Structure 1
Amino acid sequence: MNRRRPPQAMPKQLVRRVVSWSLLSLAWPVVCLADNYDFYSNWPTHITASDGTDVGLAVLYQYDVNQFSNDGGRFEDAATNRRKYLGLYVRKPGLYDAIAQYDFQANQWADAFVRFRSSGVIGQDLGNFRFGYSKTPVGFEGVTSTSATTFIESALPTQAVWEGRRAGIDWAFVRPHFILNIGDYFWRKDLDGNNPGRTWAGRAAWVPINRPGQVVHLGVSASREKLDWADHGNVPPAARLRARPEDGLSPIRLVDSGNLPYSKSVNRQGFEALWIDGPWSVQGEYLQAQVQHYHGKPDYNVQGFYVFTTWTLTGEARYYSDGNVGDRRYNGRDLQTIRPAHAWGAVELALRYSELDLNDGAITGGKEHDWTVGANWYLGEHLKFQTNYVWAFSDRGRLQVNPHIFEMRAQVYF
């Protein structure tokens, strides 16, 4: 969800420069110490101490190509960087992990938090406690690692309903067949000084089958975001729900609620499911949101869903850990490295259908449904190549726009 941005409270360029130069200065000794480099797996990007403490760079770079057709000239082809994450992490398995990461493409913070494992701190497993800036839990695709997504862009309802990252504290109680997350994102703005407000959120999942290569996951999630008045009460809060046609480089949204002034709160709910059986998987989610207003204005209700299936030609299964689809490099809460079955990687095919309805009452936000086919090549542990083709169908106030979108992405991550 996007809202009007208030003036920035601190010089962001200065912060970015300090973080950038600090991390780059740390990168040099990390690279120089590597003596067992392997192109497919062990890149010289981290140091592991004798007690298991691991310190290294957290990098995600994505370069995208978007080409449009059947769009009546409304979209422009584009090829540019999609994300440029640079950060530093430190973790000790079974005890804690911490990360600070900044996206130099969007000029905003990514993850920045420290997380403690109670089992390692006090000797009893009462869950994991995270403090800082992290993803909110309503939106199965949204909370998936940005480097591990099956499709190049999130589905329509995820874009419109998922709140994004917020700052606060959350607790995760993880068991092999049950997961519970509760978060209080009490920081009145995010780390970039935007989105004033407070959010309470929760997520629960039952996992009756949880074995390597075989998973059944059923979950529910909900949150309540209380919007604050900006600029000392002079600017009324305004919610806005919208989605791109599953491309990432065009500013055009075919469905858009527009600014909704005097928005009091946004309630979100999600129902999610995942099935993995060897190289096959099916994932789906239903999402809805209600925007409540001041002055007795009627609520604004939206909803949408997606479902997709994947098949890995090379036989690998999608990785699942701690209630989510994991990065193909790691498995388990302590991020134990997974070696690929083939040195040259895994090849995956995927098909997704998504639908979003932003029409409600007097607000004509539009309806859209998309079909997307995709192919992914996971080359070792750090390289990923993706291609998608999207057929989008939108109808907003009698205006129908049905673009076809060809997308490619090259990704480096470690």
Structure 2
Amino acid sequence: MKSAFRLSVVAAALSCTIATPVFAQDAAPTAEEELAEMRAQLQALVSRIDQLEGELAATKAENEAQDAVIAANTEAAAKPAPEPAPAAELEKKDGWSFKPRGRLMFDAGTIGAPESTGADDGFGNEVRRARLGASGDLPGGFGYKFELDFAGNEVEAADAILTYETGDAEIAVGHHNNFQSLEELTSSLHTSFIERAAFTDAFGFERRIGASVSFNSGIVLAQAGVFTDNFDDTGTDNRGFDGRLVVMPKMGDTQFHLGGSLHFNELGEDDATVRYRQRPFVHFTSTRFVNTGNLDADSEFGAGVEAAVISGPFHAAAEGYWQNVDMPLAMENPTFFGGYVEAGYFLTKGDTRGYKGGKFDRVKPENPLGNGGIGSVQFNLRYDHLDLNDADILGGVQNGYQASLIWKPASNTLFGINYGRMDYTDAVLPTASGDTDYGVDAFGIRAQVDF
């Protein structure tokens, strides 16, 4: 409208100039004077037209720029914002880098057991994990990772390792996981239930001080290491070996996983003992319904098999693990068994379970909350079995039937609801009537964040 107005001004100016008679003067000018005056007026009019055309072009360019800004703002408002970036890594300098890392997990829930067993049931809650640490690079091609866990009113070391990569191999020295089980090696941030399968805790899988080598080439992953004991048990004479072999082919969008592991631990003390036991699905209780008690032992030997598949929103996994104990005073050495079968499915479009380096990895929602979606929602079912009865040892049998619903609003935030029904045979806590075969219900929720 502004441009049209300016054009009308030009037209009016032109008409007025042409229509202005020279006869308004008192004396009639000569023809030459009249012609000169008309030429001057025409020149002034041309200059004015040039000026108005310049203003018109500037106004048009300004309007187009404003339209472009409005269109860009509209498009930006409609487009989902990117997810927050992970914790920043400080810029490398002379081969050094530093990346802070941490996690916080809060659990709460209830346990329902027969009253006459005297079990510690009812409501419970805890800070399951509260870790702070850092990782990064060191001069010379080395790397490091260090984390402290402040949960449970204690300070414990989690990972504390120095690494070195050469070709397809990585060498690690320090406090880290030995190579037992897909479930154990998968980070607690990425498991499908708030607690891992029963056998991993029952058989004492934990980080130990040692040196290891991992070789990853194509679809093959081989890991082996020698270990002593956990940071909290450095006074022992334990010496062990662990090895794991994984084949992880991918066909189209489907990821397969097949593996096996071996474990040997020589206890190294004349009065050494081992004990295998497990909680009823949740960690915030100290009650165990299956427990071998302390067993005199010289060594232990374990063997495990593992398999998994990820195909779009679906995943399945299964493991079995046998733990044999060399008991010098026993007529027969017992072999205990644990394992599980699970399946899960994402209810949200485009989401799938992560996998990397021979273990499950982070789930990254396709449509995070606040970016046009609700995040990822995953439903899981699991059958979990633990048998601590063998060779005159009556530690009990636990059969768990479990379900979980996991909501991840974004990659680094998780909320989970878990239910487990544990059916016991030969439980170590009898009822008032002496019954050792009964069921226990456990319900747990988790809120989790990491960086």
Q: TM-score, normalised by structure 2?
A: 0.73
Q: For residue 276 of structure 2, what is the aligned residue in structure 1?
A: 241
Q: Check if 1:65 corresponds to 2:108.
A: yes
Report the equivalent of 2:57.
none
Q: Partners in 2 of 1:395 and 1:304 — Cα distance? A: 15
Look up the match of 1:13.
none
Where does residue 368 of structure 2 map in the other structure?
343
Query: Helix, strand or coil for the counterpart of 1:159?
Result: helix
Is residue 2:247 matched to residue 1:206?
Answer: yes
**Alpha-carbon distance in structure 2 between the residues aligned to 1:252 and 1:240:** 15
1:52 Cα deviation after fit: 9.2
Q: Answer yes or no: is 1:89 the counterpart of 2:135.
A: yes
C-alpha distance in 2 between matches for 1:55 and 1:210: 37
Match of 2:164 in 1: 116
Q: The residue matched to 1:220 in structure 2 has which SS?
A: strand
One of 419, 422, 443 as aligned partner of 1:392: 422
1:142 and 1:162 in contact (8 A); partners too: no
Rounded Cα–Cα distance in structure 1 between residues aligned with 2:278 and 2:105? 20
Report Cα offsets for 1:14-68 as digits up to 9, x if no partner. Answer: xxxxxxxxxxxxxxxxxxxxxxxx9943255542448996522221111000212
SS at match of 1:166: strand
Correspondence for 1:405: 442
Q: Does 1:381 align with 2:437?
A: no
How far did residue 309 of structure 1 move? 0.5
- Say if 1:284 and 1:96 are closer, same or farther in 2 by CA, change over 3 A: farther
Q: Which of 335, 351, 357 lines up with 1:301 in the alignment?
A: 335
Which residue type is aligned with residue 65 of structure 1? A
| Count of matched residue pairs | 352
In structure 2, the residue matched to 1:7 is: none
1:170 aligns with 2:205: no
In the alignment, the residues of structure 1 paired with residue 230 and residue 295 of structure 2 have an alpha-carbon distance, to the nearest angstrom, of 20
Give matches, 1:8-407, under 5 Å: 40-42=83-85, 46-49=89-92, 54-72=97-115, 74=119, 75-91=121-137, 95-106=141-152, 107=154, 108-119=156-167, 125=168, 127-185=169-227, 187=228, 189-193=229-233, 196-209=237-250, 213-229=253-269, 236-261=271-296, 263-295=297-329, 297-314=331-348, 315-328=350-363, 340-344=365-369, 345-396=375-426, 398-407=435-444
Give the residue type in structure 1 aligned to 2:135.
Y
Q: Secondary structure at the match of 1:379?
A: strand
CA distance in 1, matches of 2:193, 2:268: 34
Mapped partners of 2:313, 2:352: distance in 1: 5
- Which of the pair is proportionally richer in helix? 2
Q: Which residue does 2:25 correspond to in 1?
A: none
Alpha-carbon distance between aligned partners in 2 of 1:271 and 1:181, rounded to the nearest angstrom: 15
How far 1:157 moved relative to its partner?
1.9
Evaluate the alpha carbon distance shift between residue 162 and residue 190 of structure 1 in structure 2; reply closer, same or farther with a 3 A threshold. Answer: closer
Shift of 1:412: 1.2
Query: Contact (CA 8 Å) 1:177, 1:210: kept in 2 or not?
Result: no
Higher strand share: 1
Deviation per CA, 1:302-357, whole angstroms, max 9, x where unpaired? 012101001112231111111111133xxxxxxxxxx6421222111110001111
Determine if contact 2:175/2:209 at 8 Å carries over to the other structure: yes
Partner of 1:252: helix, strand, or coil? coil
Q: In structure 2, how many angstroms separate the alpha carbons of the residues matched to 1:288 and 1:156?
A: 13
Letter in 1 for 2:130: K
Distance verdict in 2 for CA 1:144–1:264, change over 3 Å: same
Deviation string 1:175-210 (CA, Å, 9 cap, x unpaired) is: 23111101111x4x4222356411101000112326
CA drift of 1:142 comes to 0.9
Percent identity over paired residues: 26
Gaps of 5+ in 2: 1-80, 370-374, 428-434
1:22 maps to what in 2? Answer: none
Indicate how the Cα distance of structure 1 residues 411 and 357 shifts in structure 2: closer, same or farther if over 3 A, else same: same
TM-score (norm 1): 0.79
Return closer, same or farther for 1:327/1:69 CA change in 2, 3 Å cut-off: same
Contact 2:214 2:221 in 1 (8 A): yes
Distance 2:91 2:292 in 1: 49
Q: Which letter does structure 2 place at the counterpart of 1:224?
A: F
